[in-house]
Amino acid sequence: MTIGEMLAATVPMARTLNLEFLETTAERAVVSLPDQGDYHNHVGGPHAGAMFTLGESASGAVVLAAFGEQLARAVPLAVRAEIAYRKLAMGPVTATATLGRPAAEVVAELDEGRRPEFPVSIEIRREDGAVTGEMTVVWTLRPGG
């Protein structure tokens, strides 16, 4: 099962929004939100909440790809998030999430018995390439599995 399939199977919001996991590596994840009228806002584009969920889901995908081997001893949790809506989003949008610290550095902190925090940066773009949103989700690996 791919990370995208796993997230779609275990995270109801990912299924609800019909998110498409296009690419997932330990450094980056790319996730698409199709254009769906049921999730539009008052101006006809994707609702801000749907775009937030898209970005957070992309960040979760890269976290699972980077730290999946640690799941037996630590639980990944989002600590906080910030989003800035830059331009009007219309049609399908795609989020690209990038891990903000080297995974080895984060695992080294976990090995030391610490609870590491690390950022994931996300850009949300519409089909013409314009950045419609920028987001940061700070994650932690909570020891204890």
| Helix (H/G/I), strand (E/B), else coil: 144 | coil
Backbone angles phi, psi at 119, to 5 degrees: -90, 150
Structural Rg of the chain based on CA atoms: 15
Residue 145: band (very low, low, confident or very high) from pLDDT cuts 50, 70, 90: low
Instruction: Give the pLDDT confidence of 11-67 residue by residue, as tens digits.
Output: 899 999 999 999 999 999 999 999 999 999 999 999 999 999 999 999 999 999 999
Instruction: Give the pLDDT confidence of 102-134 residue by residue, as tens digits.
Output: 999 999 999 999 999 999 999 999 999 999 999
Global pTM value: 0.95
Helices 3-10 and 48-67: angle between axes, nearest 10 degrees = 130
